[in-house]
Chain A
Amino acid sequence: MRKKKANLGRLESLLVSKSKKGDVDAFTELIKKYEGKIWGLLRNVCSTVPSEIEDVYQETFINAFKNIKKFRETSNFGTWVYRIAANQCFMKLRKKKRSKVESLDAHLESDIHRHAMLRKLADSSRLPEKEAGKQEVQDKVRKALSKLPREYKIVVTMRDIDGLTNEEAAKALKMSIAAIKSRLHRGRTLMRNSLSDFMENGAKR
């Protein structure tokens, strides 16, 4: 197991050094390794609008490629890209806050979200009960997560959904491990409170 991890580390290191020389294929391999996690992070933290997630996702990897020579490999590539993604995401959110059309966006977003939910509901009615149950859980979790304050949302996503360690999340967000632990605890507590009715009802079924 440890040997496999070491081999993966070596492979990543090789891909990073090739990427530093401008090798797009090597960089694409690196993207493949972390794309799902970065996409999930942006979807949970940054926006509910697919086109916006797409923009930030692309900006993240383009910035990573442009700056890969600055990556000193003191952490793994994933942690470094996470930091870029988080920065891009916060920048986007700040811009959005400043924007005068924010309220219009919010309406639009909630409309899009509502339509997406309705579509999902319509789809779930055709799914077998077990699958619909899973879909229901996912929707509840996403809804609860979207209500969390940003600082908790990003830590809960990184730690619990993406599976980063406290140390990796601390590096990615440039925070102390104690701060990560504290935010994670608060975030989980808020999630627990949001999901409590659902968990109780679910247990009765």
Chain B
Amino acid sequence: MKCKISKKGYIPPQTCVGNLNKAISDYVEGKLDTATRKRVEAHIKKYARCRACVTSFKKTVKILKKQPKTKVPSQIHNTLRKKLLALVAKKSK
């Protein structure tokens, strides 16, 4: 597999792991088939920059998945329930 990463300067994310670019998302989620996963692993083992790139991608996904679930302000429940009950009452008239 040919790595397209330039040796100097900024690494455009889309060339991050060469031809396997689109496989990164599936790779970090463990959704790749065995053959493709092995190709990605062989590639990142060989190229340090690609390895770093995949690691940072993994970290990003991990951070996103760890974001706390938001809580709905409690007063909204009552307002919404009142509106729903009013809707039912209006229908039954």
Q: Which residues of A pack against B, CB within 8 Å?
A: 22, 24, 27-28, 31, 35-37, 39-40, 43, 50, 54, 57-58, 61-62, 65-66, 137-138, 141, 156, 160-161, 163, 181-182, 184-185, 188-189, 191-193, 195-196, 199
Q: Which residues of B pack against A, CB within 8 Å?
A: 13-14, 16, 21-22, 24-26, 56-57, 59-61, 63-65, 67-73, 76-77, 79-81, 83-85, 87-88, 91-92
A163 touches B72 (CB 8 A): no
B interface majority secondary structure: helix
Query: In chain A, what residue has the closest Cβ to B67?
Result: A161
A interface majority secondary structure: helix
Q: Can you spell out 26 A-B residue pairs with CB atoms less than 8 angstroms apart?
A: A22-B88, A24-B84, A24-B88, A31-B80, A36-B72, A37-B69, A39-B70, A39-B71, A57-B72, A65-B84, A66-B87, A141-B67, A161-B64, A161-B65, A181-B25, A184-B25, A185-B22, A188-B25, A188-B60, A188-B64, A191-B64, A192-B59, A195-B60, A199-B56, A199-B59, A199-B63
